[in-house]
Each structure stands twice: as structure tokens, then as C-alpha cells.
Amino acid sequence: MTARTVPPGREEDASLRPVPWRGMAWVTWRQHRIALAGAAVFLCALAACLWRVGLGLHQVYSAAAACHPATSPICDQLQTKVAGMDAILANGYVLQAVPAVIGAFLGAPVLARELETGTFRYAWTQGFSRWRWTLAKLVPLAAAATAGAGAFSFVVSWYYRPYLTNGNLFLPETSPLAGLFALRGVVFAAWTLAAFAIGALAGMLIRRVVPAIAATLAVYAGLAFAAGLYLREHYLAPHVVRNLFSPPATAWIIRQWWTDGGRTLSESTMNQRLSAMFYRLMPAVHASAPKGSDVKEQKLWTNLDVLHSLARHGYTQWTSYQPASRFWPFQWIESGWLLALSVLLIAATVWLVRRRAA
């Protein structure tokens, strides 16, 4: 046995010195490098698929845009082909699940696996406090997931550009392309961060990996549906106008209703009066329609004439809508509350680790 060469108390002082953040970052990378690599491969594979399919979509769209005259049968076929290409990807719902998948399989196991296996007890004996241990795991992984999602959103925006040529940037939940608002701009990265924070909190509360993954997917789905169906349209007060029979193609129509002398009419009542007015005016409208117009133009002409006739008889149509100029304000508003929610969820996770993990 050799004599001690360290002065008394020096070892105790060294053992109490906190482990530096750089060392814990290295541990986080070593523990989660496979999960990070899997998320990177997942996003890169989706980006490559979108790029490959998008090249064909853009080529068909360019041919349709250059086709003249636009009402010819060949041009109609090209436009129909653009609208019908890749129906699985076109509505955006498949890609809407990407943030949920990242949050479930990257965020939920971060703490749940340590708590389920009991290895957190060993980690806390290494001179690193609980809250620092939690932050050193969550913050770098959340930043990596958010950055990857932000880069992926650029590919998504490029892919869907042909579907957005009319300037309709909102594409609300009633639209066939309903899921696109949350896939473009800064919102996609914000949703990914929120999904990761939900997964981390679920892992802390449930302490088991598989149930935490399932809970993350369920909570994220509920939050996404609530935001799309109820919250998003109320970020800013909508414009309300009367007798806007030809609303801008770029507008997000929130609601339309009819009144008669200040009394709101039900949809069934209004449909009956619209039908009665249509059949009453149909012969005169067809006679006044522009010569040489096709069936689609005649139908539009008929509908507009019926609406104007109803307005002349004292009926008023009210339209509530969001203009396309609010796309980026809506993006920042939604990203802002998602960022605040993510910070709160991560703070709650850290607090629970300090209070309940032992």
C-alpha cells in the first residue's frame, strides 16, 4: 500500500467540482447519436423523395403554364394532371405527421429510457446536478431537431410551389390542401420543437418508453387539430364585408351567411330561396350570357346573376375572411405561442426531474 500524495481534503473538493457543460454535451452526443442519425436519415430520405417527385410535378406545371389557349382540351388535361399528381402528398397530411414522429421517437425516450432502466441513479453520482443533467440532454437535442425540421421545410415549400400559384398561402382546413400552412415557413420547425417538448414531458411523467411515445403522438395530434380547426383563424380579427360575391382567390374564407332585414337565415332556408331564384332567372341569364362561353363560364355567370338578384331583393350575404397578406403574421403568431409552450413544457420537465425523479 502506498502513501497518499494528495493533501487531505483535496479529493473531496475535486469530487464536488461540477462536471463542465462541455463534458455533459459529449455524453449526450454519445448516448443519443444513433437517434440523431436516425432522425437525420429520416428527414433526408423524405427530402430526397420530395425532390424526385417534385421534379416531375414542376415539369408538368411548367408545360401547363406555357400551354395556350388555356381553355383548350390539351391545356385542360395538363391542368387536371397537375391537380391530380401525387394525391398522397398533395394534401399535406402525410408530411404533417413528421414533427409528431420526431417528437415521439427522439423526444419521448430521452428521459423515459433512463428512468425506465434506472440508469439515472448512476448519472446523478457523476458530479452533475439533476437540472443540469436534464437541460444538457433536452436543449441540444431540441435544437438539433428544430434545425433539421427548418431545413426540411425549405424542400417542402419548393415541392408545393405549383399548388400555390394563385397566391392562396393559407389553404385552411376546409381546403383540399389543408395541411400546407403548418408545413411551410417557420411554423414547421416550431411544431417540431413543440412535439419534442411534449415527448420529453411525457417520458418524464410516464417513465416508460413505449407508452410515452403513444402519449406524445396522441397529444400532438389533438394540439394540431385544435390549432388548425379552432385557433388559427382567430389570431387576428377577420375582415367582414357584405355582398362579396367574387372573393379574392387568395383569401381564406372563414364563414359566409345571409341576412334578411337583420335576421340571419339558416342554410336550408337560404338554399331553398337560391334554388327558387335560380329557376326563375335561368332563361334570362342564359340569354344574357356572353356568346361563345363554355358551360363552366355560363354556370358562373348564372350563379353571379342569382346572387345579385337576391341582393336587389333585400338579402345580404356576409363574408368573414382572412387576407393572404396575413400569412407571415400568422406564421409568427403560431410560432410564438408554440415556442412559449415548448419552453413551458421543458421547464415543467426540469422541475419534475428535481422534485419527483428520486
Q: How far apart are CA 201 and CA 192, in angstroms?
A: 14
Quote the distance between the C-alpha of residue 138 and its chain's center. Answer: 22
Domain encompassing residue 187: 22-59+89-235+339-356
136 and 27 part of one domain: yes
pLDDT digits (tens, 9 = 90+) for 252-296: 888 888 888 778 888 888 778 777 777 776 654 444 444 444 434
**Number of structural domains the chain divides into:** 2
Residue 222 lies in a domain: yes
Tell me: do 105 and 165 sit in the same domain: yes
Distance CA 107, CA 211 (A): 13
Q: Assess whether 199 and 294 both reside in one domain.
A: no
- pLDDT, residue 121, reads 67
Asked if residue 161 and residue 38 are part of one domain, the reply reads yes
Q: What percent of the chain has pLDDT over 70?
A: 75
Cis bond leading into 172, ω under 30°? no
From first to last of its 358 residues, the chain has per-residue pLDDT tens of 444 444 444 433 444 456 666 667 777 777 788 988 999 999 999 999 889 888 888 888 788 777 877 677 777 777 777 666 666 676 677 888 999 999 999 999 998 888 888 776 666 566 567 777 888 889 999 999 999 999 999 998 888 887 776 555 666 544 544 567 888 889 999 999 999 999 999 999 999 999 999 999 999 999 999 998 889 989 999 989 887 777 777 788 888 888 887 788 888 887 787 777 777 766 544 444 444 444 344 444 456 677 777 777 778 888 898 888 888 999 999 999 999 999 999 999 999 988 864 5
**Residue 22, amino acid:** R
User: Based on the domain organization, do 263 and 348 belong to the same domain?
Assistant: no
